[in-house]
Amino acid sequence: MSSKKKLGVGLIGTGFMGKAHALGFTIAARVFDLPFELDLVSVADVTTESAENARQRLGFRKATSDWRELLTDPDIDIIDITTPNLLHKEMALAAIAHGKHVYCEKPLAPTVADCAEMVAAAEKAGVVTQVGFNYLKNPLIFLAKDIIESGEIGEIRSMRGVHAEDFMADASVPWGWRLNPASGGGALADIGSHIIASMRHLVGPIRSVLAETIIQIPERPVSAGATEMRAVEVDDITRAFVRFESGATGSFEANWIATGRKMQHDFEIYGSKGSIVFTQERLNEIRLYKTGDDIRTRGFRTIWAGPEHPPYGAFCVAPGHQIGFNDLKAIEVNEFLEAIAKGKSPSTDFREGYEVQKVLSATYQSAKTNEWVQIG
């Protein structure tokens, strides 16, 4: 019998992220010395069949087609929201009203006002929140942040970021929740939120943006294989110039029709004494250049993730053997549980989700007005 306090989890949504979160909890319990004993209590989805199927696959005790049942379940301490963006706010506010901690996928909600309401409710209730900006939980991104903060690559002058995938590149991909303008936008909100989070994390707050949004595929089938078409109103590609509060400048691109790109969450950060280059497609490597190196051998060196880059060692004792996407979710879960144990906020809490949303909103506004927009 564990002497640790039990913490119950209620998961809403069992799609791509529902599975990743369930694996995150399961892996975290195996590799970290968590402050709680985890209890995967109940899982909710739209139908009893899908919820029950997920219960069996993912190791939960109960299943329901009514997510509200999780709110009143006395065994549940954490509500984990992995549903489409438009549903996050209602579910999170209900969870907070019932005193539950909330783990929610990104983008936090479709508008800045929605996010502000969620932050206010969570902070008033004193519950701990976490948003799924998982790419920041990479041991090598922790290293990159350490290198930047130590001054090792000098004053940061600029950052170029991109988040590109190709899951919408085929014009026959049908209409779905990601194309609903009420969800808060297209490629920028969906995947661009990740690169904005990385830019804020590594170089700091963004002061202003000048952006362009592009709808490259103007209509899509209403459903898979349908001949009836529906107009697309959200961006396939968004590009922006950014100015950071620190004085550094940069740019980012969000692109979900980047044929051949599967997970290009990439950035290059240039400092006065060196630079850092990263691509999520090779998430166990980071490249570092230092102007102080011997001139004859100076160049980018590749650093492979290993036990000297915590918490890699919790997963594997040997360097270079590599961790994966679901492991980043386990690190995110560990950070969340540590925060609950200590009554603190993780770095990617609802307030950070709100700050990212302010950049998203300013970017869309700039694309409409063709002018630089300050992040308020």
Q: Under the rule (CB under 6 A), what is the footprint of ligand NAD?
A: 12-18, 44-46, 50, 67, 82-85, 87, 105-106, 132, 134, 190
Query: Cβ 300 to ligand NAD, closest distance in Å?
Result: 27
Whether residue 94 contacts residue 166, with contact meaning beta carbons closer than 8 Å, is answered with no
Q: Which is nearer to ligand NAD, 28 or 210 (CB)?
A: 28
First-to-final CA distance of the chain = 51
Closest CA to 243 of 112, 363, 115: 363
Query: Cβ 176 to ligand NAD, closest distance in Å?
Result: 8
Assigned token pair, 70: 């999780």
Closest CA to 303 of 149, 161, 146: 146
Query: Cβ 245 to ligand NAD, closest distance in Å?
Result: 26
Nearest residue to ligand NAD, by Cβ distance, number only: 15
Q: What is the DSSP letter of 282?
A: G
Q: Which is nearer to ligand NAD, 254 or 303 (CB)?
A: 254
CA gap 229, 280 in Å, rounded? 34
Whether residue 139 contacts residue 319, with contact meaning beta carbons closer than 8 Å, is answered with no
Query: Cβ 43 to ligand NAD, closest distance in Å?
Result: 9
Q: Which is nearer to ligand NAD, 53 or 249 (CB)?
A: 53
Q: Which is nearer to ligand NAD, 102 or 248 (CB)?
A: 102
Q: Which is nearer to ligand NAD, 274 or 346 (CB)?
A: 346
Q: Which is nearer to ligand NAD, 106 or 160 (CB)?
A: 106
Query: Cβ 335 to ligand NAD, closest distance in Å?
Result: 14
Whether residue 362 contacts residue 355, with contact meaning beta carbons closer than 8 Å, is answered with no
Q: CB-based contacts of 56: which residues, under 8 Å, 6+ apart? A: none
Query: Cβ 133 to ligand NAD, closest distance in Å?
Result: 7
Query: Cβ 248 to ligand NAD, closest distance in Å?
Result: 26
**Beta strand pairing status for 37-44 and 6-12?**
parallel
Rounded to whole angstroms, what are the CA distances from 229 to 45, 178, 219, 289? 28, 16, 6, 50
What letter represents residue 28's amino acid? A
Q: Which is nearer to ligand NAD, 180 or 249 (CB)?
A: 180
